[in-house]
Amino acid sequence: MPQLISLSVNDRIPMVRWHLAMIFGNTASTVEDNKPAVSALLRLLKDESVIVRSWAISSLCIIGRRDKRRRRRIIDAIGTLQHDKSVAIRARTAEALKVLRNENVPLPAGWSKA
């Protein structure tokens, strides 16, 4: 996992970072400590690639839904993207915040690959 986390923020290829962001959210329930993955995903929220940021939001939402200890930090971080220049990021942010703030709202279809 440490190697994957390093790749997620250092690899030059957006598709690598995007898939790693996706993996972190979908392996959240099998990893003993999500803190390193959460830290990497928080950094990926600032990635230049819209698709990388989009999957970082989704994965943070998945983790925040399962890990109430990290939920407030995740909500605050994702909330900073509410006025992003990308319409896709603003939409994904709004959906993630809705899910994280209300236990009755299901994860959007396609976010969880598990």
- Which three-class secondary structure state does DSSP give residue 31? coil
**Domains of the chain, with CATH numbers?**
2-101 (1.25.10.10)
Cβ atoms 90, 98 nearer than 8 A: no
Distance, CA of 81 to CA of 101 (rounded, Å): 16
Sequence letter at residue 94: A
Q: Is the pLDDT of residue 27 over 90?
A: no
Using left for φ > 0, alpha for ψ between -120 and 50, and beta otherwise, residue 75 falls in alpha
Q: Is the pLDDT of residue 60 over 90?
A: yes
pLDDT at res. 32 = 74
* Helix H or strand E encompassing 26: helix 14-26
pTM: 0.93
pLDDT at res. 2 = 84
For residue 95, count CB atoms less than 10 angstroms from its CB and return exposed for 0-12, middle for 13-18, buried for 19 or more.
middle
- Which three-class secondary structure state does DSSP give residue 84? coil
Q: What is the DSSP letter of 104?
A: T
